[in-house]
Amino acid sequence: MSPLEPLFSESGPIARSVKGYRYRAGQLRLAQAIQECIDSGQTLVAEAGTGVGKTFAYLVPLLQSQGKSIVSTATRHLQDQLYERDLPRIKAALGVSIQTAVLKGRANYLCLYRMEQHKEQGRFSRREDIEAFGSIVRFAAQTTTGDIAECAEVPENAPIWSQATSTRENCLGQQCPRLTDCHLMAARTRAAQADLVVINHHLLCADMALRDEGFGELLPTVNHVVIDEAHALPEVATHFFSQSISTQALSGLARDALGVGLQHARDGASWPDLCGSLERCAAELRLVSPATSGREEALMNAGINRRIGWDQLDESVRTQWLEKLNAATDALIALHQVLTRNAERHLELAQLLAVAQDFIGRIGEFCEEDPAAAVVRWMEWGRYGVTMHITPYEIAPRFQQEMAKHQRTWIMVSATLAIAGRFDHFVQRLGLEQAKTLIAESPFDFQQQGLLLVPQQLPDPKAPDLIERLLQQSEIRALLDSLEGGAFILCTSHRAVGHARGWFEQWASGHPDRLILAQGEAPRQSLIERFRAHGAAILIGSHSFWEGVDVPGAALSMVLIDKLPFAPPDDPVMQARSRWLTRQGFDSFSVIQIPEAAILLKQGVGRLIRTETDRGLVVVGDRRLAETGYGRRILRSLPNFARTRDCKFAKDWLAADVPVSPSPGFDA
């Protein structure tokens, strides 16, 4: 008998301590595989179907093991949930008292020194920034952790936080006057002393990137690393292994240099002229943009960025950009020269010198065209500025370099890693071909609990108003009218969210008992909590709602997905990777698009059945899932729901307390 079996048994310590715990063979199998890899120092790539209980499956072996461990989650919200809910429960069940800690990236912690500096300088360009900064100051007087997520009055993505948090470049480190009160240092100290640290993928990849640049390791040395929600890791790693420079960063450097220069070297230069020149260059860069439609403007105002490849820009726009980038480089060089002369006068001036040097190099790299380089140059226009990126086509070599630096156990686990039972796509993206693999099947009876409907009559999936056409169909509307519980409307674009919101506003006039919620109206977690509490709401969202949302019971009885979630055809990174693969003789659609669409669709469909007693309907408004070869390949990756193309059958099935006579389905 495995030493883990008594722990997971129906009469074991977890069952006695955790309310609602049930023995699951897949959970024990996953835990045993993780234990074997911990003992042997191997890498495991595992898919744990919904309901397996992957969190306990990896926490139990980690808490029983020797050495230090890191658990990395996909988001900060999941990180908090794991640390505040799951970890204390399993520690109590096992009766272990090992030290644990949670650690986030630098930008998540209030910097008292920078907050006080900006409070004294009082340079705010907008009234709302003044009000938000006042809220931050009040938060600083109350918080014990400095975690900005606890400041309810100011959103975590508000630009004003840049004036109350530090960066790697402007942190004074051991020379900081507020070092003894530093929230970041306190969090890092707790992490260094802990046996198990909960982090997120962004911090993990940032640590890899910084170590490679020679800045030292942020995270404590560990023996075991568990990557939870591992399907999200390749995208995060791609971001951190890219090179970026933004107009916001240039403006931030100008503001910091002005404040620090006037404070520590007032006679060293005409700081307002010098920094004003750089600020103007950043402002002029923001004004140079390709033609933008009204819809694109609305999306950017709503916080949705517009991505365009450098080679997709009109030549006139590229010429303007190069001119403005040259001007920005000149302004940076002028600032660099002045900072060089004054750097010895104060540590902050020396730090700003390093930042200016770094920015000069980043702009130079972006402007330098190297046809042989396996990278794509692209730009991202957003509400607050423009960011220039250089992104590698593949990250496996770099990721393998990082893994090879330390001999550790690596556990990659998610509910959505395999495609039609194979892990090829995931392991190739990260270079994990030598890893052990495992699929722990869900304990749920998907054939009885769920029904997948792909209606026989459907609009063209490429139609710009697809979601409206879908909802207007009488049979789809009948399904919604008869639905007793709540529904997710999962869209593949932000534009579709807006269209669906407009349609449901009219529909709701005949359904006053329904609550209509849409992405963008409130913070994501707030929308989910309202949806869960109402019990019969309609929630409309795009990709951020396709994963990491858990609503058990009748509160979520239907998931409607507008179409297969292929990446937008004009996405610059996808386009460049596709061309690169084509040049190597591969079919990029099969290698990239189909696997990534399958994983995302699997995530969306996975929102529906969360417990053994859940029952519900998934509607996919894209005939390609049932009628094409690649659609059937994607279909084989989904839970094994009963299937139908008959809307009337789906309506009867949804309303019945017992299964109705089977309807003809469709084959995978």
pLDDT in tens, 167-203: 887 888 888 999 999 999 999 999 989 999 999 999 9
User: What phi and psi values does residue 439 have, to the nearest 5 degrees?
Assistant: -115, 115
Q: In terms of DSSP bridges, do strands 558-561 and 487-490 run parallel, antiparallel, or are they unpaired? A: parallel
For 361-419, write each residue's pLDDT tens digit.
999 999 988 888 889 999 998 877 899 999 999 999 999 988 888 788 999 999 999 99
Residues 305 and 543 sit within 8 Å (Cβ to Cβ): no
Residues 144 and 268 in one domain: no
* Res 527: pLDDT: 94
Q: What CATH number does residue 516 fall under?
A: 3.40.50.300
- Tally of domains within the chain: 4
* Res 668: pLDDT: 65
* Res 647: pLDDT: 94
* Res 133: pLDDT: 87
Which segments within 477-611 are labelled E, that is strand? 487-490, 516-518, 538-541, 558-561
If one counts every other C-beta atom within 10 angstroms of the C-beta of residue 164, the result is 28
Q: Looking at 162, 184, 206, which one is the last position of a domain? A: 184
For 232-256, write each residue's pLDDT tens digit.
999 999 999 999 999 999 999 999 9
Instruction: Look at residue 9 and tell me if it is in a domain.
Output: no
The pTM of this model reads 0.90
If one counts every other C-beta atom within 10 angstroms of the C-beta of residue 34, the result is 27
Residues 611 and 512 in one domain: yes
Residues 373 and 466 in one domain: no
Q: Smallest Cα–Cα separation from 94: which of 33, 2, 4? A: 4
Residues 272 and 357 in one domain: yes
Residues 484 and 532 in one domain: yes
The residue among 102 and 219 whose pLDDT is bigger is: 102
Distance in angstroms (rounded) separating the CA atoms of residues 190 and 470:
52
Residues 132 and 267 in one domain: no
Residues 560 and 473 sit within 8 Å (Cβ to Cβ): no
Read off the pLDDT band of 214 (50, 70, 90).
very low
Instruction: Look at residue 16 and tell me if it is in a domain.
Output: no
Instruction: Look at residue 664 and tell me if it is in a domain.
Output: no
Distance in angstroms (rounded) separating the CA atoms of residues 598 and 51:
20
